[in-house]
Structure 1
Amino acid sequence: MATSRRQFLGLAAATPLAATGALSLGAAAAQAADSAYVMCYFTESTSLGDGTDYGLHLAVSQDALEWTPLNQNNPVVTPTEGDLGLRDPFVLRGQDGTFVVLATDLKGTDWNYVSQYIHVWYSTDLCTFTGYHRLKLHDMNTHAWAPEAFWDAGRGQYALIYSAVNDSGHNVIMVNYTTDFLTVSAPQVFFDPGYDVIDGDMAVGVGGVNYLYFKKNQTLVGARSTSLAPGSFTEFSTAVAHGGTEAPELVSSPAAGTWYLYGDTYTPNGVFYVWQSGDLSTGTWTARDQKTYTQPVNSKHCGIRAITSAEYAELLSYWGTPQWNRLKSYNHPDRYVRHADFVGRVDAYPIDPYLDSEWKLVPGLADPAGVSFQSVNYPTHYLRHYDYQLRLDAGDGTSAFAGDATFYRTPGLADASWASFRSYNNPTRHIRHFDYVLRIDPISTATDRQDATFRVGY
């Protein structure tokens, strides 16, 4: 059935309550197809310096694996109350098809800061945000961390779950119920297995079963129940981790016939890892190759929500795509092209300063049909070869420099869906890494081809 863009994004449904800032969350569900995805997150750099921002960030994807940051990876909205920053954001699609954003009231890493409140925004399209307020969840002398919400059809209300320390003396998953995210019921314990648990994430009504994933002892573990009642969930899954891991996020991908489980390493500028399963009921997961997914720069504790292809296009149009790229190594997919001491390298993410790994791919200085790699943080400098090694030098306006800094992009020598780069003035040589240093070399072996293949992304 044909639908106007305004109706499609839920604008008509939200209009009657615009004066209060609350959306009509009790209306019939306008479910989005799993044709695209939006990720929300905050950012932390390794040094907690440049690249750290405790506002709401968004990225979009068509496969829930490769992400395009919006607004140049800058925040789209920032809290103006409480600690003036957020962590652990979550995007809920309400029953009327519009969105609610929830987040922890905490700026930075002062774990002694106690707030019984969470941040709340409403949005019809994730382009504009209304009705900002803080919502108090309890009166206990403890935090309210990592809020998420889901629709409990049996109650006709949203269940708002979060991590807090109650009388047990350890972190448990608490729950309040609400219809509008303006007022909530009294808090209850939702899940307390007798040990410390935080970061609850739900998948509701999958084959008649509800799944709750959470952090336990630096690992990600699942519990399940045929009910949504507090206290009804029982642990069942095999734990997964990559070092200390937190912030589980379950993502359904009908197109791929699988589920993804995202996890975040427990460090500033954490590294995302992804596992997959064809059947949640098994409780077992297989790690995905890092070649198959890329996280937004400096992203931490993500939330992922399915959106429609129209919403995906609208978000890209409104916020714009990044004006820079990152290049991932094919055979070392934890590493990205960067400059360090003005030498071209591939180094492991996270990279500090992170701008060393961001590049503008501009028309080739010697031939606009080619490309040159302009540094983002040294914008007068370009990657060029000198004695076959790549280094970052200031452009001097000469034809020799222009030739050294120009490359032709070709289908990847190891994988045609990736990219390789052939030298303009040494056309028998391609950019490749050797002992993690970038060079231009003739390419002959399978290893050479892998060394010379990169994914151009964000």
Structure 2
Amino acid sequence: MSTPNLPSRRLFLGMAATVPLAMTGVLTAGRSARAAAGSPYVMAYFTESRRGLGTSYGLHLAVSTDALQWMPLNQNQPVVTPTGGDGGLRDPFILRKQDGTFVVLATDLKGTDWTKKSQVIHVWDSADLRSFDNYRLLKLHEMDTHSWAPEAFWDASRGQYAVIYSAVNSSGHNVIMVNYTTDFRTVTSPQVFFDPGYDVIDGSLAMNVGGVNYLYFKARNSLVGARSASLEPGSFTVFTSGLAPQGGIEAPILAQADGTWFLWGDANAIFYAWQTDDLSTGTWTATDRRVYTQPLNSKHAGIQPISQAVYDGMVAQWGKPAWNRLKSYNFPDRFWRHADYLGRIDPYPFDPYTDSQWKLAPGLADASGVSFQSVNFPTRYLRHSYYQLRLDVNDGTTRFAQDATFHRTAGLADASWTSFRSHSHPDRYIRHYDYALRIDPITTAVGRADATFSLGY
């Protein structure tokens, strides 16, 4: 949930060199995602872009094999959209239930009118995250307040699921509330789950990590952690100071991959993350931004481990993107785009976001190569002209085909990344210089870094 002054939830990783971090304190990402080694993951989110061109208040899904690099499904369009309440959702959360099926919860809000006070949340059931059934609105309380950023967990001591969410209680500030349920159709009366005496929002849990439960939340524009040996309402105590990049952050998520815990958060649609090998230490290190890529236009996400069969079924059902984005190696906050028909790298996010989407077509001059076809100007391709990359209309000439064809090679700065050699000038590679894309001979370490890119989504 994103509000002007209040805390909110969910997050991604940041590069220490470019993101000033308050590194004191333990933060563990909300929606705790723990899985066996090699298990894939699903991310649920909604979308917003700078000028609203990519905004959609429906349920979006992405998948990952490492919980770091994400592939949007259904061409980054929603797989289902609410028909009740405010007609849109924010802050979706997926819970795998005790019977192996899933339930989807989300805030009932379309847009950013924080004065709306919905007492309900959206709910769907799903057997396999390919179909979403039994849509309903679940009423949580009768109070004159909102029901933001719902999450749920299984409380074995009660034999019930707990639904936690943000609301204003009689205290007059935002707290984390809880209701209990067995079926996500009826709930018990609300109780205060966590109230440190000041505004908190976007509560997320990491449960039974070395016998301790960790609750992470947004407070004072940073992510703060509390912990408890039980899951009882009122039992959590704060044990960290805030963690945030400049400008504040919200929406914590905790995901464990190959023994490492990652804490994700959302700073105005830019996901950052930190990592630790031990949640109990309270020591977090900023994760290199090179190693993760958030789904395009994603906001306030939730992460859940899934089986390989569910992953395969989702990809078969919803399809891989028909486009790619390319990220800079030495400026990993920047992506390829065209602007005024010139190629360049700019910081994500931006609008029109479609300027950064490319269809990798077989090379116009050599099918073993690649040509970069614009998604939003499909008659135009990137080609070099006087060594600068331009987005020009394909005129059908041999010269154009040669200038618009490139050959993929192992990354010049990192062989796990990608570089692109010019077809017509094979001694030159695509690189950025003063953020403009061009082709140059590469002879230095800086040049090799400038000419190395990640091909993803």
1:10 corresponds in structure 2 to: none
1:260 corresponds in structure 2 to: 262
Structure 1 position 40 matched with structure 2 position 44: yes
Structure 1 position 227 matched with structure 2 position 230: yes
Distance 2:174 2:318 in 1: 37
1:383 corresponds in structure 2 to: 382
Q: Percent identity?
A: 70
Q: Per the alignment, in what secondary structure is the counterpart of residue 97 of structure 1?
A: coil
Distance 2:382 2:404 in 1: 6
Q: Per the alignment, in what secondary structure is the counterpart of residue 312 of structure 1?
A: helix
1:321 corresponds in structure 2 to: 320
- Quick one: which amino acid aligns to residue 91 of structure 2? D
Instruction: Find the partner of 1:189 among 176, 183, 192.
Output: 192
- Quick one: which amino acid aligns to residue 279 of structure 1? D
Distance 1:124 1:399 in 2: 53
Distance 1:171 1:112 in 2: 14
Moved more, 328-337 or 283-292: 283-292
| Deviation readout 1:221-276 (Å, 9 max, x if unpaired) | 110000100000001124211131000001122x2x110100001x3xx1000111
Aligned length: 422
Moved more, 31-40 or 390-399: 31-40
Runs of 4+ in 1 over 4 A off after TM superposition: none
Q: How does 1:165-180 map to 2 (within 5 A)?
A: 165-180=168-183
Unaligned stretches of 5+ residues in structure 1 = 1-30
- Quick one: which amino acid aligns to residue 259 of structure 1? W
Q: Per the alignment, in what secondary structure is the counterpart of residue 147 of structure 1?
A: strand
- Quick one: which amino acid aligns to residue 44 of structure 1? E
2:401 corresponds in structure 1 to: 402
Q: Per the alignment, in what secondary structure is the counterpart of residue 116 of structure 2?
A: coil
- Quick one: which amino acid aligns to residue 276 of structure 1? Q
Assess if the C-alpha contact under 8 Å between 2:35 and 2:256 holds in 1: no
Structure 1 position 145 matched with structure 2 position 148: yes
Query: Displacement, 1:311?
Result: 1.4
Assess if the C-alpha contact under 8 Å between 1:135 and 1:182 holds in 2: yes
The RMSD of aligned alpha carbons is 0.9
Q: Per the alignment, in what secondary structure is the counterpart of residue 185 of structure 1?
A: coil
Unaligned stretches of 5+ residues in structure 2 = 1-33
| Deviation readout 1:181-219 (Å, 9 max, x if unpaired) | 000000000000000000000011111110100001110
2:15 corresponds in structure 1 to: none
Distance 1:195 1:283 in 2: 22
- Quick one: which amino acid aligns to residue 147 of structure 1? P
- Quick one: which amino acid aligns to residue 452 of structure 1? A
Question: Normalised by the size of structure 1, how large is the TM-score?
Answer: 0.91
Distance 1:88 1:208 in 2: 28
2:206 corresponds in structure 1 to: 203
- Quick one: which amino acid aligns to residue 87 of structure 2? L
| Deviation readout 1:427-447 (Å, 9 max, x if unpaired) | 000000000000000000000
* Greater RCO (Cα-Cα under 8 Å, separation 6 or more): 2
Instruction: Find the partner of 2:136 among 133, 154, 162.
Output: 133
Distance 2:241 2:221 in 1: 13
1:442 corresponds in structure 2 to: 441
Distance 1:169 1:229 in 2: 22
Assess if the C-alpha contact under 8 Å between 1:57 and 1:75 holds in 2: yes
Moved more, 33-42 or 315-324: 33-42
Q: How does 1:293-372 map to 2 (within 5 A)?
A: 293-372=292-371
Q: Per the alignment, in what secondary structure is the counterpart of residue 260 of structure 1?
A: strand
2:430 corresponds in structure 1 to: 431
Q: Per the alignment, in what secondary structure is the counterpart of residue 128 of structure 1?
A: coil
Q: Per the alignment, in what secondary structure is the counterpart of residue 183 of structure 2?
A: coil
Assess if the C-alpha contact under 8 Å between 1:33 and 1:308 holds in 2: no
Query: Displacement, 1:312?
Result: 1.3
2:253 corresponds in structure 1 to: 249
Distance 2:223 2:419 in 1: 37
1:418 corresponds in structure 2 to: 417
Question: Normalised by the size of structure 2, how large is the TM-score?
Answer: 0.91
Structure 1 position 66 matched with structure 2 position 69: yes
Query: Displacement, 1:32?
Result: 6.4
Q: How does 1:19-168 map to 2 (within 5 A)?
A: 33=36, 35-48=39-52, 50-168=53-171
| Deviation readout 1:386-426 (Å, 9 max, x if unpaired) | 00000100000000000000000001000111100000000
Assess if the C-alpha contact under 8 Å between 1:57 and 1:76 holds in 2: yes
Distance 1:46 1:32 in 2: 34
Distance 2:151 2:302 in 1: 9
Q: Per the alignment, in what secondary structure is the counterpart of residue 252 of structure 2?
A: strand
1:12 corresponds in structure 2 to: none
1:217 corresponds in structure 2 to: 220
Distance 1:139 1:238 in 2: 33
1:15 corresponds in structure 2 to: none
Assess if the C-alpha contact under 8 Å between 2:251 and 2:301 holds in 1: yes
Distance 2:264 2:176 in 1: 19
